[in-house]
Amino acid sequence: MVKYIFVTGGVLSSVGKGILTSSIGKMLQARGLKPTVVKIDPYVNIDAGTMNPYMHGEVFVTDDGGETDLDLGWYERFLDLSLKQENNLTTGTIYRSVIEKERHGDFLGRCVQIVPHVTNEIKNRIKNAGKAVNADIVLTEVGGTVGDIEGLPFLEAIRQMRVEEGYENTLYVHVALVPVLDVTGEMKTKPLQHSVNELRRIGIQPDTIVARSPQMIDAEALRKIALFGTIPESSVFCSYNAETVYQVPLILDKQGMGDFICQRLSLKCDVKDFVAWQTFVDGMIHPEHEVRIALVGKYAGLSDSYVSMTEALRHGGAACKTKVCIAYLEAEKFEREPECLKDLANFDGVFVPYGFGPRGTEGKIAAAKYARENDIPFLGICYGFQLAVIEFARNVCGLTDANSTEINPDTPYPVIDLMPEQRGIETKGATMRLGVHKVVLQKGSLAHKLFGEDICERHRHRFEVNLDYIDALKNKGLCFTGKSSDGRRMETLELPDKYFYFASQFHGEFKSRPGRPSPEYFGFIQACVNKKLGLPKV
């Protein structure tokens, strides 16, 4: 019998539901159980792909090319899973399939309604996610905040699942903010109480409540949460601020949450193994070195825009006992004030992330140039890769005003151009080159040294290196060392005479895991440390 755990959030969004859901999964996994995860995003978009990162943070890309909510990234990192597009439900996906069924005639003669047709679609998709991978437990995180209009059909669906799947097979976890007042230092549980009331109004009584607070809740807060949440004190847990989010499963397990869930759902588990996880966490919180990385981006104002990249840099750091301090720098600043470029000398590495459109590109190109000329370790990902090509074409090959046609359609030297199969595509949703594609690596190259054998990495792009310029770039020393299977797509570049200058068209960060960092990120951080320590290049 499959068990279902539902996570709801109260008081405000970004309360840490994604980390909590991932942590619950980790506690179950440590006990030898097999969880899978579904994220519900009540917005109307079919997927996150068409949204600006400033709306909901980065777009996470799955192996199968799904452009999903960033929480799927947390589930994958915590649970080392490879999830699918189907693991992310939005109002758009649900309604689209209900409407398609209606047009097909599946509901002939009936009036199609939110209850039962939309709620049935939601329940089926949650159940199918479990069946697809033969999971013991399906964790479902309901995005947004309890009380949002958009969330109601989803909450109704999970309410019904209690009745249909049985009390012993379903568990409701509610997490809400417990703020501490600056002035008095008092912990305030009233907002949490109200959010529990709101949940009850919908017909859901939580089985366990997690207080999200800056520090461990005190006895009085615990008493109130239990009393007004109508649950025993032993079912209240606290997710307080930690040095790294990877500590959260350990923190909650220590409070007994893992055992509580297993008992409540009659899950058989005799083992509990956090050894590998603890080792990784220890590496993170007891570093021996420290490096400072300049991330030169377009969405620098919201670090969630670069969350997978940030985590991949940290995974790389943990693997060489290095604390990675990231400065999120607005690329446009280097355009307005070029004299600021020399500040990059204070960093151990320069990182140019993904991006779209012209804004900030000249600043990123200038940063890539500064890193190359001053031999600061450099890593470029996707747009970062393309902009490094443009920089090299302009400043080394002498192709003045070389550019990407994404930035300047009239450039005299379109060194980056639209992929042929992208020509004529007018619609924007899910039309990029997405998901995993094979990359063949040149023996003896840095890419080969880092990654080993040929690889499958995730992609999300419309533009690529224009084959007409390969010879010109190669002749001046730019090496394309990773290519698509047919050899027609440039996937990695490197400058062998530099300490570390590497970039990839693919996104290694999406497959980076705690304890198993993406090789390009690991190689970059290790190079930053080694160079800082004055060690010769490896």
Q: Which is nearer to ligand GLN, 54 or 167 (CB)?
A: 54
* Cα separation, 302 vs 319, whole angstroms: 26
Which range binds ligand GLN by CB under 6 A, 23-31, 133-141, 228-236, 353-361? 353-361
Scanning residues 429 to 488, which ones bind ligand GLN (CB under 6 A)?
A: 460-463
Residue positions counted in the chain = 538
Contact status: 489 vs ligand GLN (CB under 6 A): no
User: Residue with structure tokens 């420290």?
Assistant: 290
Give me the least distance between CB of 428 and ligand GLN, in Å please: 11
The letter for the amino acid at 122 is I
**Residue 380 interacting with ligand GLN (CB under 6 A):** no
Q: Considering 238, 262, 382, 397, which one is annotated as catalytic? A: 382
Q: 476: helix, coil or strand?
A: coil
99 vs 508: CA distance, rounded Å: 37
Question: Can 509 be counted among the known catalytic residues?
Answer: yes
CB of 182 to ligand GLN, least distance (A): 40
Secondary structure letter of residue 298 according to DSSP: S
Nearer to ligand GLN, 17 or 461 (CB): 461
CB of 38 to ligand GLN, least distance (A): 25
Comparison of 162 and 461: residue with beta carbon closer to ligand GLN:
461
C-alpha torsion angle, residues 533, 534, 536, 538 (rounded to 10): 30
In this structure, are strands 501-504 and 490-494 parallel, antiparallel, or unpaired?
antiparallel
Torsion angle defined by CA atoms of residues 285, 288, 289 and 295, in that order, rounded to the nearest 10 degrees: -20
Residue 143: which of 252, 245, 258, 6 has the closest Cα?
6
Catalytic residue among 448, 461, 507, 528: 507
* Closest distance to ligand GLN from the beta carbon of 69 (Å): 17
Interaction of residue 299 with ligand GLN, rule CB under 6 A:
no
In one letter, which amino acid is 388? A
Q: Is 507 a catalytic residue?
A: yes
For the sheet with 414-418, list strands across it.
Answer: 403-404, 414-418, 463-465
Site string for ligand GLN, 139-178 (x = CB under 6 A): ----------------------------------------
Contact (Cβ atoms closer than 8 angstroms) between residue 450 and residue 439: no
- The angle formed by the CA atoms of residues 243, 247 and 249, to the nearest 5 degrees, is 150
Among the listed residues 75, 299, 356, 524, the single contact to ligand GLN using CB under 6 A: 356
Using CA atoms, how far apart are residues 509 and 519, in angstroms rounded to an integer?
9
Radius of gyration (C-alpha) of the chain in whole angstroms: 25
Interface with ligand GLN includes 506 (CB under 6 A)? no
From the CB of 511, what's the least distance to ligand GLN, in Å?
15
Minimum distance from residue 376 beta carbon to ligand GLN (Å)? 21
355 binds ligand GLN (CB under 6 A): yes
DSSP letters for 368-393: HHHHHHHT--EEEETHHHHHHHHHHH
How many residues line the site for ligand GLN (CB under 6 A)? 11
Q: Which stretch binds ligand GLN (CB under 6 A): 71-79, 124-132, 208-216, 348-356?
A: 348-356
- For the four alpha carbons of 150, 136, 512 and 419, in that order, the dihedral sign comes to negative
Among 382, 399, 503, 525, binds ligand GLN (CB under 6 A): 382
CB of 18 to ligand GLN, least distance (A): 22
Nearer to ligand GLN, 22 or 404 (CB): 404
406 binds ligand GLN (CB under 6 A): yes
Q: State CA 2 to chain mean position distance.
A: 27
Catalytic residue chosen out of the listed positions 397, 509, 520, 528: 509
Task: State yes or no: is 382 an active-site residue.
Answer: yes
φ and ψ at 184, to 5 degrees? -100, -15
Contact status: 298 vs ligand GLN (CB under 6 A): no
Q: How far is the CB of 432 from ligand GLN (least distance, A)?
A: 6
The residue ranges that bind ligand GLN (CB under 6 A) are: 354-356, 382-383, 386, 406, 460-463
The residues annotated with a catalytic role in the active site are 382, 507, 509
